[in-house]
Amino acid sequence: MEVIVKETYEQVSQAAARVVARVLNAKPNAVLGLATGSTPLGLYQELIRMHKDEGLDFSQVTTFNLDEYVGLPKSHPQSYHYFMRENLLKHINIPKQNAYIPSGTTDNYEAFCAWYEQRIRDCGGIDLQVLGIGGDGHIAFNEPSSSLGSRTRIKTLARQTIEDNARFFNSPDEVPIYAITMGVGTILEAREIVLLANGEKKAQAVANALEGPITTMNTASALQLHRKAMCILDRPAAGKLKMLDYYEWIQAKMPNAP
Ligand code: F6R
């Protein structure tokens, strides 16, 4: 995996936005896979800025979000529908019908999951998947012990994820227990992947993902199998990497590093 280390979260976000812009410039009708949470907020702000100041065009873009809480309607302020609308979609020129987010309120989850997978295929597959990483190494809501071949399905959240995400709710009791999430197998089919992480709290999960064994106990470690995956980190998140010197040495020699 290509590892890029930046000094600040702002630089991580800007580098990630340059990766997105590179993909859109090469393919204006690209399909993007998107994440929610704190990590990509800076990326989304930078994409909005690039759209407004530099004319970055989303008019032909399609997006697929990784996940949604089960039971939260689109209007719930903690739903990922709401998050995406407020933090990205309403600020750019993406056609509303091109932005797909798993449903948290369907009455037939099995059928919905199959439809979501088919929709990704019908749109030509994901060109660039943006990921964050959980403190337990999850990508999307593929918690430890998830199959590395998993597809879109319902997952029970791990206790640590519920505690981590409680900061967005009034109390941990309000955090939904289930989520609908793309699988690790779904994610690995993206043509290109960019994993973002910032802050010391992610350092151990990042080190396990990048340098540990490939294991269901850290589903981000499955990215080691991907041919075009990049990880962009700030220095605190890179703090436990054993090969940090090596990554920085390579980075210094890469003319096209974002
Ligand atoms: C969100 C998602 C999750 C988050 C992860 C990190 O769509 O798929 O895997 O990326 O939980 O969350 P933050 O960025 O809030 O630390």
Ligand 1 centroid distance, CA of 230 (Å): 17
- Looking at residue 236, its pLDDT comes to 98
160 neighbors 135 (Cβ within 8 angstroms)? yes
Question: Any idea which residues carry the catalytic annotation?
Answer: 67, 136, 138, 143
Going by alpha carbons, the residue nearest to atom 15 of ligand 1 is 37
Residue 162 lies in a domain: yes
Segments forming the whole domain that contains residue 152 = 2-252
Residue range 93-122: mean pLDDT, rounded: 97
Confidence band (pLDDT; 50, 70, 90) for 42?
very high
* Summary mean pLDDT of the chain: 97
Going by alpha carbons, the residue nearest to atom 10 of ligand 1 is 132
Digit-coded pLDDT (tens) for 198-213: 999 999 999 999 999 9
Going by alpha carbons, the residue nearest to atom 8 of ligand 1 is 140
Provide the percentage of residues in the chain whose pLDDT is more than 70: 100
Residue range 47-67: mean pLDDT, rounded: 98
81 neighbors 142 (Cβ within 8 angstroms)? no
Chain centroid, CA 181 distance in Å: 11
- Looking at residue 164, its pLDDT comes to 87
Residue 196 lies in a domain: yes
**Which atom, in ligand 1's list, is nearest to the CA of 181?**
8
- Looking at residue 203, its pLDDT comes to 98
Residue 125 lies in a domain: yes
SS (HEC) of the chain: CEEEEECCHHHHHHHHHHHHHHHHHHCCCCEEEECCCCCCHHHHHHHHHHHHHHCCCCCCCEEEECEEECCCCCCCCCCHHHHHHHHCHHHCCCCHHHEECCCCCCCCHHHHHHHHHHHHHHCCCCCEEEECCCCCCCECCECCCCCCCCCCEEEECCHHHHHHHHHHCCCHHHCCCEEEECCHHHHHCCCEEEEEECCHHHHHHHHHHHHCCCECCEHHHHHHHCCCEEEEEECCCCCCCCCHHHHHHHHHHCCCCC
Residue 73 lies in a domain: yes
List C-alpha distances in Å: 14 to 6, 50, 182.
10, 10, 26
Residue 257 lies in a domain: no
Ligand 1 centroid distance, CA of 187 (Å): 14
Residue 258 lies in a domain: no
Ligand 1 centroid distance, CA of 151 (Å): 18
Q: Is the pLDDT of residue 254 over 90?
A: no
**Which atom, in ligand 1's list, is nearest to the CA of 37?**
15
Which CATH number covers residue 213? Answer: 3.40.50.1360
Residue 161 lies in a domain: yes
- Looking at residue 68, its pLDDT comes to 98
Token pair of 45 as six digits: 């702000």
**Which atom, in ligand 1's list, is nearest to the CA of 132?**
10
Nearest alpha-carbon partner for 148 in 120, 178, 182, 180? 182
Pocket-forming residues, ligand 1, beta carbon under 6 Å: 35-39, 66-67, 132-134, 138-140
Q: Is the pLDDT of residue 257 over 90?
A: no
Residue 116 lies in a domain: yes
Number of domains the chain contains: 1
Residue the block writes with tokens 């709401």: 82
- Looking at residue 231, its pLDDT comes to 98
R_g over Cα of the chain = 17
Digit-coded pLDDT (tens) for 110-164: 999 999 999 999 999 999 999 999 999 999 999 999 999 999 999 999 998 999 8
Ligand 1 centroid distance, CA of 223 (Å): 16
Nearest alpha-carbon partner for 65 in 54, 56, 74? 74
Residue range 69-93: mean pLDDT, rounded: 97
Residue range 208-237: mean pLDDT, rounded: 98
Ligand 1 centroid distance, CA of 85 (Å): 17
**Which atom, in ligand 1's list, is nearest to the CA of 67?**
7
What are the φ/ψ torsions at residue 182 (nearest 5 degrees)?
A: -60, 150
